[in-house]
Amino acid sequence: MLLSGKRGMVVGVANKRSIAWAIAKKAADEGAQVALSYQNERLGDNVRELAQEIKDPLLVQMDVGSDSQIVMAFDNIRKQWDRIDFLVHAVAYAPRHALDGRFVETSREDFRVAQDISAYSLAALSRAAQPLMTDGGSIVTLSYLGSERVVPHYNVMGVAKASLEASVRYLAYDLGESNIRVNAVSVGPIKTLAASGISGFGSMLRHHRTRAPLQKDVEIEEVADAAVFLLSGMGRGITGQVIYVDGGYNIMAD
């Protein structure tokens, strides 16, 4: 039981295929008490139903695009729990049309929204979580190789993930004195709601499967295992890092 006696918050559960949900479930299986946030009442029904699968869940409504909702959510957690030990940030958004065309055409507003929801939210949540992490803590976010290489159509999300990974390093520096670690798991392509409707995703999966050293699709459970490792005491020496769970794809030249 890697997380026995620990409590933490998981942000980014939309449905049963969410990477956030796989992490939440594994964290609970490893003995953690888990708070799940849901963005709005529409997704709340999904999250409430999923939460029945874990022991002693806490549910809070929070849209990471709103400072006041972030403050309220952590106030609600503080009313139930005196302390938290971990935070999982598994949220990204860019307007759909920005993931179709050319990056050069990205509007100022689409760029702003992608940065706000996909990158700034990590700093905002870390700031809200810090006062509750009185015994140290571990923060894990999710990234993608499109932050450092050009993946056609990933566009403004690639720039937002670059910003997210840099944020991981600056947050790791700031929060290190409080024994709070901050890391990212860079995940190979997986079919989730966030990938649905992305044209050419099927051929991306095939390409990944044939080029990656492990010659198979990335499994959501592999991502959850790495995340739980980083959340646990086993990861106690690791901060400011981007760890790849991609079957080794990122090491290849082509």
Residues that bind ligand 0WE (CB under 6 A): 92-94, 96, 99, 144, 151, 153-154, 157, 189, 194-195, 198
Shortest Å, Cβ 151 to ligand 0WE: 5
* Residue 93 or 229 with smaller CB distance to ligand 0WE: 93
State how far the Cα of 225 lies from the Cα of 33, in Å rounded to an integer: 17
List the catalytic residue out of 120, 154, 244, 249.
Answer: 154
Shortest Å, Cβ 192 to ligand 0WE: 8
* Residue 24 or 194 with smaller CB distance to ligand 0WE: 194
* Residue 86 or 154 with smaller CB distance to ligand 0WE: 154
State how far the Cα of 113 lies from the Cα of 98, in Å rounded to an integer: 11
* Residue 119 or 171 with smaller CB distance to ligand 0WE: 119
Structure tokens at 192: 């989730």
Is 244 annotated in the active site?
no
Shortest Å, Cβ 97 to ligand 0WE: 8
* Residue 2 or 113 with smaller CB distance to ligand 0WE: 113
Give the strands of the sheet with 180-187, arranged side by side.
58-61, 33-38, 7-11, 86-89, 137-143, 180-187, 242-245
Sign of the C-alpha dihedral, residues 146, 240, 11, 126? negative
List the catalytic residue out of 93, 120, 144, 244.
Answer: 144
Q: Are 245 and 186 in contact (CB under 8 A)?
A: yes
Shortest Å, Cβ 217 to ligand 0WE: 12
Shortest Å, Cβ 15 to ligand 0WE: 13
Is 144 annotated in the active site?
yes
Q: Which of 90, 98, 215 is nearest to 153 (CA)?
A: 98
Q: Are 10 and 88 in contact (CB under 8 A)?
A: yes
DSSP symbols for 111-170: HHHHHIIIIIHHHHHHHHHGGG-BTBEEEEEEE-GGGTS--TTTHHHHHHHHHHHHHHHH
* Residue 153 or 181 with smaller CB distance to ligand 0WE: 153
Shortest Å, Cβ 242 to ligand 0WE: 14
Q: Which of 156, 183, 151 is nearest to 86 (CA)?
A: 183
DSSP symbols for 192-244: SGGGTT-TTHHHHHHHHHHHSTT-SPPPHHHHHHHHHHHHSGGGTT--S-EEE
Active site residues: 144, 154
